[in-house]
Every structure is written in C-alpha cells, then in structure tokens.
Amino acid sequence: MKISAVLLMTSCVGMLASLVLWLSPEVVDRGITSAVYLASTVLLAVLMHLAKPTSDDTVVRRLCAQQAIGCIMFVVSALLMLNQHWLWLLMFVRNEWIVAFAIGCVFFVYSSFRLSNK
C-alpha cells in the first residue's frame, strides 16, 4: 500500500473522529478536537495538492480543481471551528463551520464520484 493512501485514510479517519468527538464535549475538550480536525484537513489538502491529475482532459482537471475547493472549505471549516472555541472573530461565534463543512462535502463528494467514473 502506498504511503499516500495510508496518509489519506489517516486524514479521513482523523476528520471523522474529531467530528464525532465534537458532538460529545464532555469526553474530550473541543479545543483538542478542533485542532485534530484542523491537522487532518491540512493533511488532506496537502495530499490533494500533491496528487496532480495525470490526464490532459479538461473534465478531469475541472474535477480536481473542485476537489481543491472542497479541501479549502474543509480548512475554512476547521478554522471556524477553532474560532468557535477560542473566539478570535466575534462575528463568527455560532456553528458557521457546519456550513463551510457542508459546502466542502458537496464539492469533494461530487468530484470524487465523477472522477471514479472517468
């Protein structure tokens, strides 16, 4: 198994675990879960950036760009999650990170399913 595949699975498991632990703040502090989520999303964004498309097809390049937008939205959601815990920006103190996460999921899942068909 390639190291990139192991790192990709690690980042996805880290994202999922931190989102599950976010729902139960009495188990783990939300600052720790948001930091794990940020580290996982940054790892995912770096891996997606390093995985350049090998095809010259414009559809594949567009879908890879959409995956990059999804990764950026994941990082934005992680920063908003950290903001909710430490209150850097007082205008974003509710659950705005969920909106950024949902937008990232739509971009990432749509492009992943389309890329698997190509």
Angle ∠(73,68,70) on CA atoms, nearest 5: 35
Q: What is the tens place of the pLDDT at every residue in 47-59? A: 888 887 777 888 8
User: Do the Cβ atoms of 116 and 64 come closer than 8 Å?
Assistant: no
Taking 3-state DSSP, the helix, strand and coil percentages for the chain, each rounded to the nearest 5, stand at 80, 0, 20
| pTM attached to this predicted model | 0.84
Q: What is the tens place of the pLDDT at every residue in 19-66? A: 888 888 788 888 888 889 999 999 999 988 888 777 788 888 888 889
Nearest to residue 107, comparing CAs of 66, 64, 52? 66
